[in-house]
């Protein structure tokens, strides 16, 4: 349910899709599928059972609406998801969620959402930098007033001003690429991070799952992925937003008297 105009009025469609109810549901199904794929690779689940699970790991088959119906009964989102998948998988339903804890699914699905968001952000940032580079070169001889403390100062070129913006955005791009592996880390070592429910080969199983999903493998976890990973990404977005706001203020506000 929307709680702010930001929820529906602003934003890009692709970002809204990634973070929508349906976006999370689709990625949660993908994580559950990857879990059974890894078990099949380790000989714990038959190829036939994996194929059955893979076939129903589709939001058009196991729908978000059905999961919501079951959640109203179970009062637990992941239990509802696994019950809905087991319903659809028939005899192969026995292996759904095998050895996992809820946050193995939740945090790995969030990592997929962050990964997809970062990829969109990187593409946008690269496009912005390239456009700014063209403006900086084109306006390298365009003279304008410089500013200090909001007041008119000695002349500069508009190209120089844009070049400063380019360099700032380039630094944001470097930061994004450097932090990406930390921010797209999943986990699959159970309720306390020991992998006890998976038995021998728990670390191998985790590596198989996260590798199949295109996520990074953590060195160690508790029940959850370290939230510093999320905070780093959110902090990066705040940093970029500050730079954009600064640029807009420079363009909008004339020098003071």
Domains identified in the chain and CATH numbers: 1-98 (1.10.275.10), 100-257 (1.20.200.10)
Residue 67 CA, chain-centre distance (Å), reads: 22
Give 257's pLDDT tier (boundaries 50, 70, 90). Answer: low
Q: What is the mean pLDDT of residues 65-89?
A: 98
Q: H or E segment at 157?
A: strand 151-157
Q: According to the model, what pLDDT value does residue 8 have?
A: 72
Pure H helices in the chain: 13-18, 21-41, 47-56, 64-74, 77-89, 102-138, 158-183, 202-213, 228-252
Average pLDDT over residues 136-151: 92
What does the pLDDT read at residue 86? 98
Query: Mean pLDDT across the stretch 130-141?
Result: 98
pTM above threshold 0.85: yes
């Amino acid at each position: 349910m929307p709680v702010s105009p930001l929820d529906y009025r602003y934003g890009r469609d692709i970002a809204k899709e990634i973070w929508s109810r349906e976006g999370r549901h689709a990625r949660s199904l993908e994580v559950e599928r990857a879990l059974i794929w890894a078990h099949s690779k380790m000989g714990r689940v038959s190829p036939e059972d994996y194929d059955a699970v893979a076939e129903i790991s589709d939001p058009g088959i196991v729908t978000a609406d059905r999961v919501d119906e079951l959640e109203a009964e179970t009062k637990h989102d992941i239990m509802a998801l696994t019950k809905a998948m087991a319903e659809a998988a028939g005899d192969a339903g026995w292996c759904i969620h095998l050895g996992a804890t809820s946050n193995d699914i939740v945090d790995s699905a969030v990592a997929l959402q962050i990964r997809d968001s970062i990829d969109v952000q990187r593409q946008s940032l690269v496009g912005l930098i390239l456009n700014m580079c063209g403006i900086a070169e084109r306006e390298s001889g365009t003279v304008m007033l410089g500013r200090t403390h909001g007041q008119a100062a000695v002349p500069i070129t508009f190209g120089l001003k844009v070049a400063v913006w380019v360099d700032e955005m380039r630094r944001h791009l470097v930061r994004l690429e450097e932090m990406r592996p930390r921010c797209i880390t999943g986990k699959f070592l159970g309720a306390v991070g020991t992998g006890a429910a998976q038995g021998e080969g728990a670390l191998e199983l985790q590596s198989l799952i996260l590798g199949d999903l295109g996520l990074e493998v953590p060195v160690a976890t508790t029940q959850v992925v370290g939230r510093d990973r999320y905070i780093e990404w959110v902090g990066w977005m705040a940093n970029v937003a500050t730079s954009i706001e600064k640029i807009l203020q420079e363009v909008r506000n004339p020098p003071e008297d």
